[in-house]
Structure 1
C-alpha cells in the first residue's frame, strides 16, 4: 500500500546556507533515493492555500511504495547525513500517511 510523506516547513528559512547544502545534497541523491526507496516527488514547495488553520511556509509531498519504504528512506544514512542541516534551517513537521 502506498504511503505519503508530507513535509511542512512551519517557519521561514533562517539559515539559507544550510538549506542550500541540504537541498543540493538531496538533488544529488535523488536518483539513488528513487531507485532504493521508490520515492516519487509529487509536490515540492508548490503554491499553498490554507482552507483551515494557518498555512505552513512550504509543503513537500513525496510518494513511496509503502510505509516501510518511506521509513527506510528517512532512516537511510544518505538522508540522515544532511537531516541536521534541514532541522537547523527552519521549523518543520513531517508525517507519513498510508494511502488507500
Structure 2
C-alpha cells in the first residue's frame, strides 16, 4: 500500500544551513521510488499556526518511505535541515 511522507517547515533558524540541505538533498532520492506531489507551493492555511512550507512525497510502501528516510544518504544531509530549521515530519499510509 502506498505511503506518503509529509514535511512541514515551522520556522527557519539558520538560512545557510537550510540552503546547504536544499542544495544537497536531491541525491538522497537516487534508487528510491518516490513521486513528489507538492513542494513549497502556495499554501492556504485553514487551521492551526501557519507553516513556512510543505513537501508531500509518495512512496510505494511504508517500508520504502522508511528506507529512504533512514538511509545514510538522507540522514547525512538531513543534519543540515535539523541545524537550520524546525520541521514536523511523518509517514502516513494511504487508504485501502
Same-fold status (TM-score > 0.5): yes
Q: What are the superposed Cα offsets for residues 24-66 of structure 1, whole Å, 9 maximum, x if unpaired?
A: 1113x1661xxx2211111111111111212211100011001
Q: Which has the higher helix share?
A: 1
Q: Which has the higher strand share?
A: 2
Distance 1:98 1:64, change over 3 A: same
1:96 aligns with 2:91: yes
1:53 aligns with 2:52: no
Q: Which residue of 2 aligns with 1:6?
A: 6
Tell me by how many angstroms 1:21 deviates. Answer: 1.3
Tell me by how many angstroms 1:20 deviates. Answer: 1.4
1:84 aligns with 2:79: yes
Tell me by how many angstroms 1:14 deviates. Answer: 2.3
Mapped to 2, the partners of 1:64 and 1:31 lie a distance apart of: 11
Mapped to 1, the partners of 2:24 and 2:84 lie a distance apart of: 15
Identify unmatched segments of 5+ residues in structure 1. Answer: none
Q: Which residue of 1 aligns with 2:35?
A: 40
Mapped to 2, the partners of 1:39 and 1:26 lie a distance apart of: 13
Q: Write out the 4+ residue segments of structure 1 that deviate beyond 4 Å after TM superposition.
A: none
Identify unmatched segments of 5+ residues in structure 2. Answer: none
TM-score (norm 1): 0.87
